[in-house]
Structure 1
Amino acid sequence: MAPVILFPAIDLKEGRCVRLVQGDMSQATVFNDDPAAQAAAFEAEGFTWLHLVDLDGAFAGRPMNAAAVESILARVSLPLQLGGGIRDMKTVEGWLTRGVRRVIIGTAAVRDPDFVREAARRFPGQIAVGIDAREGRVAVEGWARMSEMSAEDLGRTFEDAGVAALVYTDIARDGVLTGLNIEATLALAAAVGIPVIASGGLASLDDVRRMLQPDCAVLEGAISGRALYDGRLDAREALALIRNAAQDPAHA
């Protein structure tokens, strides 16, 4: 069994590293003016992946923080996944050729599923779908608009498309440190055969311990943002817990 991946999040707004509350751009807290330095700090702490979101890009529908992403790519050797404003094949190909390991398609996955299927065919193992939900319904355009589609229905749309992962975010929990919505995440994982990553609300080591329980073995990992930045989650302690569990599953 592959070890759980803890993805530290770097959310980019106007070239800076920020965290939002429930996706509200007016509630942005700046944690670092130098995203590349933040990425290097995460690498030094022992993380094995990075999760990047171009927040401005999610609203604009095209990349808006390219310089910040490129500075991170130049600074660290960690694989990274990137979402936000990725809505056409040119953008997908552009990021992957620059060194992004995996791109996350959100809004376009709802509006143009065939685009996702074609991207997954052209770039095997490098396309993920972002499923951002509020009360079970999928949100689009940087969470500014709600669709009528359920998270599970959207996931099933890509069952046989060759998508590498689904990133499931509970919007109501994002940035408010109330704990991961494990129940909804596991429900999505049960509905599809695609690896699922939990996002939104990770608050403490208790969430990491929960991810290490046997029923969560179907999940690829979880994303942590604010808890890492404000010190509620100690990175080295969390990563040690994951390493120990991988070596001895009974340890979790």
Structure 2
Amino acid sequence: MSDPFPTFEVIPAVDVQDGEVVQLVAGERGTEKRYGEPRAAADQWVDQGAETLHLVDLDGAFEGERVNSAAFEAIIDTADVDLQLGGGIRTADDAVELLDLGVDRVILGTAAVETPEIVGEISEQYPGTVMVSLDAKDGEVVVSGWTESTGLDPAEAAGRYEELGAGAILFTNVDVEGQLEGVNTELVGRVCEAVDIPVVASGGVASVDDVLELRDAGAAAVVVGTALYEGAFTLAAAIEVAST
């Protein structure tokens, strides 16, 4: 199985709600700021040097089924970079359909917590393609669009999913998500130490220094949303600094 992140990557987020790119504050619906059409955003980030795009169907995450398929299929058809997609993927068939369409990694959150065996089921057909999303609020894993606490410790959960066949972990600190207030490297570091598979960090990135802190904490890549859309720094600048 090849390493999806042979070098550290800065990955732009394309989070979609009601057919538009948005960013939420601390995962709360109703806090969103809108940033236009998804395919245009994807093209912009690819033009600026992105090697991977992080695609999230926010409506799907909250509703429990994929909602913005047309927007993502337009990106899949045109973007010549790696694509990781999550939000509303609840069954192995959902995941396989997306992988067959050309998505490189499927992101499983609620489904992985509620039916852990789905990770192995998908991985048997497509090894290394399952990225398990562990979203932490107050230090515990939360599901269903960040609305329900599970009581699970993120580092312990990451180790469990590695054993089940996950190819990567997406770790999001919901407490700092979308707030441009900086990152929590202690939690990220614990998750990275718990597994041998890549951990992609997300949440709270406000500066290039935050990107470097997450890299130094052991993350294989970092997902950036609000900071890029608000112009806190450019993708090109982050990629350049993170590669040194």
RMSD: 1.3
SS at match of 1:201: coil
Kept in 2, the 8 Å contact 1:113–1:157? The answer is no
Give 5+ residue unaligned stretches, structure 1.
Answer: 246-252
Cα deviation 1:28-86 (Å, max 9, x = unaligned):
11011x10011000000011000011000011111100001011112211111001011
Give the conservation status (yes or no) of the 8 Å contact 2:119–2:165: no
Structure 1 residues 181-192: aligned runs within 5 Å:
181-192=184-195
2:225 equivalent to 1:225: yes
Normalising by structure 2, report the TM-score: 0.94
Percentage of matched positions with identical amino acids: 37
For residues 138 and 214 of structure 2, what CA distance do their matches in structure 1 show? Answer: 22
1: distance between equivalents of 2:123 and 2:189? Answer: 23
Q: Deviations over 1:199-243 (max 9, x none)?
A: 000111111232443xx3x42111100000000022111111133
Tell me which residue corresponds to 1:248: none
Please tell me whether the aligned partners of residues 49 and 80 of structure 1 are also in contact (alpha carbons under 8 angstroms): yes
Inter-partner Cα distance in structure 1 for 2:232 and 2:222: 16
What's the counterpart of residue 145 of structure 1? Answer: 148
Q: What are the within-5 Å matches in structure 2 for residues 1-252 of structure 1?
A: 2-32=6-36, 34-213=37-216, 216=217, 218-243=218-243, 245=244
8 Å Cα contact 2:17/2:59 also seen in 1: yes
Contact 2:9 2:51 in 1 (8 A): yes
Please say if residues 36 and 71 of structure 1, whose CA atoms lie closer than 8 Å, have aligned partners that are also in contact. yes
- Residues 10, 235 of structure 2: 8 Å contact kept: no
Output the CA distance in 1 between the equivalents of 2:71 and 2:27: 20
**AA matched with 1:24:** E
CA distance in 1, matches of 2:230, 2:137: 25
Cα 1:23–1:2 change in 2 (3 A) is: same
Give, in whole Å, the separation in 2 of the partners of 1:167 and 1:173: 15
In the aligned structure 2, how far is the partner of 1:151 from the partner of 1:172?
A: 14
Q: Distance in 2 between matches of 1:6 and 1:87?
A: 27
Q: Please, what TM-score do these two structures have when normalized by structure 1?
A: 0.92
Matched pairs, number = 240
